[in-house]
Structure 1
C-alpha cells in the first residue's frame, strides 16, 4: 500500500498545496492522509488515486478553514508560500499553471469554492466526482465553481510569458537600483500593488503598498539603502521567473504582469516560507 501512496504523492502534494497555500500545511495534510491510507481496508479501495484524492481534498479543506480562522493572528500581509522550481531536485510539487499571483487571488475564495475550483480546473474532474469527494450535491458544486470563476475573473489577464516576466522584473530591479523614476513609470501599472510578507520575523512593512508613485518611492529607497550588501540571483518561483534576494534579509520575489506592465510585486521574506530555496548562501 505504501508503494501506491508514493506513486501518487506528487499529485497529492500539488492538490494539497493548491488548497492550503503553504508547503508545511500541505505536508501535514499528506502525513495525515498517509496514516489514514495505512489504516484503510484494502478490499474496499478499488481506485487508490480516487480514494486518496478524496481524503487529501477533505483534509485540506479542513486545514484551510482552520488557517483562515487563525489569519487574524498573522502579523502583516499573508502571502502564499513560494516554491522553488526549475530543477529535478526542487520540483517536488506540481506547480504547473499555479503562479503566486493565482494562489494569491484564490485566497478570496471560501474553502468549498477553492476546493471545487481546484478539482475542476487543475485536475479536470467531472462534477459528479467532485460532489462525491466533497460530499455535496452536483448542482451545488457547479454553483460553487461559477462563483469561484467570477471571483477570479482577473486571473485571465495575467501574462505567463517567461521572457516578458524576466524582462520586466530584471528591468524593475535595475531601475530601482539606479533611481530611474521615468523607467519605473514605464514598467509599472498605474494600479500596481507591492505585497510584502515578513511573517513578523522580518520588517518588510505591515500593509500592501498601493499605486505607482508609492511603489516607486518604496523600492528606490530600499535599493538605495541595501545596494552595498544585496545579491540577486534569478530563480524559478512556482514555474515562473523570479529572483532570490539576499541582503539585510532574504526574500523571494516575483511579479504578476497585466497588459505588458507589472501589476503586482510579491516579496516573501518570512523564513518559514523559504524552505524550498535552500539555506542562505547555498
Structure 2
C-alpha cells in the first residue's frame, strides 16, 4: 500500500473516529472494548480498496458494527461471571452531547441497561436506526440481513425499549432538579427528605465488580433504598462529598470519600422524583470520569 492510499485511509478514519467510538460504545457499554473495536476497524479499513468506496462514513460504520457484534458475544461470557449487577462504564462528556437529545437519552445509564436486554442484533439495529439514523439498507448490510427483516427487527427492538422508557418524557432540567434535591439530602443527612425525593418504586443498582462492596442485586423500593444509603454512610464513617457533573450526556454526581474518588451516581427521574439510581464503584470503570470523551451521532 502506497503512502497516498494510507494517508487517505487515515484521514477518513480520523474524520469519523468519534462517531465510530460512539457507535461501538453504545453497543458495548465499555470504553475499553470500544477502543479495541476501533483498532480492529482500522486494521480492516486499511485493507479496503478506497476507490470502490462511495461513502467512507457508511462503510466504516458497517465495519464497526460487525466488530462490535463479535465483541458483544465475548462480553456476554464475561458478564455471566461478573460479581453483582453490571452497569455501563460512565464517561465524562462535553455539554454539546447533552444538547443532542436523542443521543444523550440513548447514552443514559438507564437506557443502556435496557439495551442490555436486547439480543446483540436487536441492539445493533436499534442503535444504528434510532440514534445514528442509518438507513435500513446500510443496517441490513452491516448485520447480513435483508432490509425487510431488518425493519422487523427494528420494530421489535423499538417496542421493547419503549415499554421500558419513562412513561412521560423527562427533560434534562427535570433530571437535574431531582439530582440536586437528592444531593441536598445527602449533604444534610435528612432521611425523611430523602424519602420525599425518591419515587416509591425507585430502583438502586450498584456496580462494584467484586472490587468494591456493593449490593449483589438491585435494591427496590424507597424505604429499602434509604436504609441501604444510610447503612453505607454509617460504614464509611465519614460523610461523602458530591460534585455535580455530566456523565453520558446526563446529570450525575461524582462522590468522594476521604478525598478519594468513590464512584459515579447517575439518575433516572420521572416528574420531580428519582425512579432510578445507578452507582458505579468498580474502579476499573472510573478511568474516564475526569477527562471528557468526545461522543457524537454525526
| CA-CA distance at 1:190 after TM superposition | 1.3
2:193 aligned with 1:183, yes or no?
yes
Question: Structure 2 stretches of 5 or more lacking a match?
Answer: 1-8, 97-101, 292-298
2:70 aligned with 1:69, yes or no?
no
2:27 is matched with which residue: 9, 19, 22?
19
| CA-CA distance at 1:133 after TM superposition | 1.7
Q: Which residue of 1 aligns with 2:4?
A: none
Q: Which residue of 2 aligns with 1:59?
A: 67
2:158 is matched with which residue: 142, 149, 163?
149
| CA-CA distance at 1:44 after TM superposition | 2.3
1:259 is matched with which residue: 271, 283, 289?
271
User: Residues 96 and 174 from structure 1, CA distance in 2 versus in 1: closer, same or farther, beyond 3 angstroms?
Assistant: closer
Deviations 1:129-152 (A, max 9, x none): 211121101121111112111211
| CA-CA distance at 1:33 after TM superposition | 0.3
| CA-CA distance at 1:159 after TM superposition | 4.8
Q: Secondary structure at the match of 2:288?
A: helix
- What is the 5 A alignment of 1:31-110? 31-86=39-94, 96-97=104-105, 98-110=107-119
2:255 is matched with which residue: 242, 245, 250?
245
Deviations 1:236-258 (A, max 9, x none): 11111111111166101111012
Separation in structure 2 between the aligned mates of residue 15 and residue 245 of structure 1, nearest angstrom: 28
Q: Secondary structure at the match of 2:46?
A: helix
| CA-CA distance at 1:224 after TM superposition | 4.0
Separation in structure 2 between the aligned mates of residue 270 and residue 106 of structure 1, nearest angstrom: 21
Range moving further from structure 2, 229-238 or 59-68: 229-238
**Maintained 8 Å contact 1:158/1:256:** no
- Give the root-mean-square deviation of aligned CA atoms: 2.1
2:184 is matched with which residue: 164, 170, 174?
174
Separation in structure 2 between the aligned mates of residue 178 and residue 18 of structure 1, nearest angstrom: 36
**Maintained 8 Å contact 2:174/2:271:** no
Q: Which residue of 1 aligns with 2:139?
A: 130
**Maintained 8 Å contact 1:14/1:95:** no
Q: Which residue of 2 aligns with 1:268?
A: 280
Question: Structure 1 stretches of 5 or more lacking a match?
Answer: 89-93
Q: Secondary structure at the match of 1:155?
A: coil
Range moving further from structure 2, 162-171 or 252-261: 162-171
| CA-CA distance at 1:173 after TM superposition | 3.3
Give the TM-score, by structure 2 length: 0.86
Separation in structure 1 between the aligned mates of residue 249 and residue 237 of structure 2, nearest angstrom: 28
Range moving further from structure 2, 12-21 or 225-234: 225-234
| CA-CA distance at 1:85 after TM superposition | 1.3
User: Residues 246 and 15 from structure 1, CA distance in 2 versus in 1: closer, same or farther, beyond 3 angstroms?
Assistant: same
What is the aligned length?
274
Q: Secondary structure at the match of 2:78?
A: helix
